[in-house]
Amino acid sequence: MNILTEKFSTPYHSAPFNEIKNEDYLPAFKELITNSEAEIDAIINNSEEPTFENVIEALAFSGEQLDRASNIFFNLNSAETSDELQQIAQEVSPILTEYSSKISQNEALFNKIKKVYDEREKYNLNEEQQMLLSETYKGFVRSGALLNEEDKEKLKKISMDLSLKSLQFGQNVLASTNNYFKHITNKEDLAGIPDAILEQYAEEAKERTLEGWVVTLQYPSYIPFMTYAENRELRKEIALANGKKSFDGGEFDNQNLIKELLNLKQQKAELLGFKNYADYVLEERMAKSTTKVIDFLNELLTKAKPYAEKEIEELKSLAKADGIEEMQGYDHAFYAEKLRKAKYDLNDEELKPYFPLEQVQEAVFGLSKQLFGLTFEERNDIPKYHEDVKVYEVKENGEYKSLLYVDYFPRKGKRAGAWMTSYKNQYKKDGENSRPHISIVCNFSKPTKDAPSLLTFQEVTTLFHEFGHALHGMLANTQYPNLSGTSVKWDFVELPSQFLENFCYEPEFLKTFAKHYKTGEVLPDEKIEKIEQSKNFMEGYQTLRQIGFGLLDMNYHSRVAELEGLSVKEFEDNYTKATQLYPANPETAMSPSFSHIFQGGYSAGYYSYKWAEVLDADAFQYFKETGIFNSETAAKFKVLLSSGGTKDPMELYKNFRGSEPKVESLLKRAFG
């Protein structure tokens, strides 16, 4: 018996992590693909007249067990991978891509879909059904259903190559990150670094059976070093190692892979009738066109750059006082922290005791209850994939609403960063509302023998950010799984997450949970005031940084021909120079580890972070006008969250806000 092919007998049919063995995956995928193909064949061979129910709806509900197995496998490959799992991923990805292509390019199936689509007026469909029909038809066309047989084969091969190469890209970044560590034996080299961080470095050394301290390129290790270490040469060395990730000509170098990925995407776009991959992607976004995105980013660049330059001048004067004539990128975090402390008398280490992870989690749980009526109860009887993971049953009015997995600490098998994902989608079928299983994965500092996990304020906002995504998933209330939760236009998906971050800066809310883990003392008013004042600290610099990523992404995916005669480094420098505030370093490049666009789903979509900031600033402005805990405003926002992709996002937004979002809301919040 293969556990992945059976109906799970766990509470709420949750993933039976404790019973899954690595050798189960490949045979399970093969069997489940066969089963799913049989469901597709049943739709095709149905002799009845094609209808919305027997074609579109039947297709939406097909392959559920395969989707679940895929979610389990690929989520674990990000959060708890191993050499064996990565090897299986290399075998599984082409099989799944082939299966997907086989369906999306199945002529008999598409003919039935097209017939229903062409005759849609006669079906009297509700709004959600119309959206499902439209998205299904468009999805097939965008996957090559209208191509001839030869081009279909080409597209299938391109899709398979893309899935394998993007997987390889991520594996290279992870290996390159894990391969480096800096072993330090002289404590003087660690001057300026707070005791709690030193303890973390000592623990890392102990795990490697080394004396002294170890700094790695994992963010909870790397960021504090760059922020506090007084030793400039060491900052330079470690920053250089970080900037060389997958850019050192070695085994895990991604430069050729980037060119291969971009060429494949361009070929795919051209086959489907688009000028470039950016145009292909943006057809399905709120922004609609490459020109609109680049104009949007350039408008922000023009407005933000003077603020950014002024911020950097302030830092340079601090560095000059230390005898540094030309400040470099690796000096930024150190002097920004100095300036922040001078201006607001705040540093992460003195704030951290007020933000123990469990307290912050309780705060976000409490906020979810206050705004949306959700409660969270830990369950110890639900299987989990690692001992660090906790599982919560989420309820609304006492009724089961969702499962929430939280996985907070770094491990060797976990990729860097923070993300929300799903193990099971929500949908309604046969009179039952089948609820979602959602997961949040982060990389916060682990508890030590003397202290719980203490978060920097930025990590507090990270947790709120990912929880905003989780709410989008947990509150889902749609008919069909492929329109549920975060299945929305990509430049709309960051609205809930970025919206929730705003609460972290509201004094009345902060006071409810920012309490010293030892004494219970509430974070003093003057510090809360300074957090509020420091909200826009280095906002110009951060905005330029995000715009730089967005412009680079958009140009990679719309000007791939230019890359022919250039190195990845040259191309990157060309399209980020307008946003660069420090001298470029010839030895480093960020593109080879830019996982968002070369491994994740942000290809030609990185701009959506700034796009969604306009939405979130405008949405929170509405909350501030009506009262940040106003139940009517929260109820309207809950409708937006629970509607998933059932309506056009701009329509959803206008139903909530009463008008379209205004870019002025973002500029006002950022620069006053």
Tell me the residue type at 488. V
CA 263 to chain centre: 24
Task: Give start and end residues of each alpha helix (H) in 105-218.
Answer: 107-118, 127-142, 149-179, 195-207
Nearest in space to 77 (alpha carbons), one of 558, 401, 415, 350: 415
CA quadruple 426, 427, 430, 431: dihedral positive or negative? positive
Task: Say if CB 455 and CB 353 are below 8 A apart.
Answer: no
Identify whether the C-beta of residue 418 lies closer than 8 Å to the C-beta of residue 82: no
3-state helix, strand, coil in the chain (%, to 5): 60, 5, 30
Q: What are phi and psi of 308, to 5 degrees?
A: -65, -45
Q: How far apart are CA 637 and CA 633, in angstroms?
A: 6
- At 91, which amino acid appears? E
Contacts of 130 by beta carbon, 8 Å cutoff, 6+ apart: 120
Half-sphere exposure for 98 (CA within 13 Å, toward CB): 9
Give the count of beta carbons closer than 10 Å to the beta carbon of residue 194.
Answer: 17
Instruction: Tell me the β-bridge partners of 392.
Output: 378, 404
Pick from 419, 423, 418, 414: which is nearest to 382 by CA? Answer: 423
Burial 219-228 (b: 16+ CB within 10 A, else e): bbbbbbbbbb
The set of residues, in sequence order, having a beta carbon less than 8 Å from that of 259 and lying 6+ positions away, is 563, 568
Structure tokens at 136: 């299904």
Give the number of other Cβ atoms within 10 Å of residue 639's Cβ: 13
> Where is 244: in which H helix or E strand?
none
| Active-site choice (466, 501, 539, 572) | 466
Interior/surface letters 35-58, b for 16+ CB within 10 angstroms, e for the rest: ebbeebeebeeeeeebbbebbbbb
CA dist., res. 198 & res. 215, Å (int): 9
Q: Measure CA 525 to chain center.
A: 33
Q: What is the CA radius of gyration of the chain?
A: 25
Per-residue DSSP letter, 522: B
Question: What span, in angstroms and rounded, lies between the C-alpha atoms of 19 and 385?
Answer: 10
Cα distances from 601 to residues 204, 277, 417, in angstroms, run 32, 13, 15
466 as an active site residue: the answer is: yes
Name the region of 487 (left: φ>0; alpha: ψ -120 to 50; beta: rest): beta
Provide the strand spans (E) within 185-256: 213-216
Q: Whole-angstrom Cα distance, residue 437 to residue 394?
A: 10
Main-chain phi, psi angles of 496, to 5 degrees: -60, -35
Q: Find tokens 């601090």 and name the residue.
A: 318
CA 359 to chain centre: 24
Question: Would you please indicate which residues are annotated as catalytic (active-site) residues?
Answer: 466
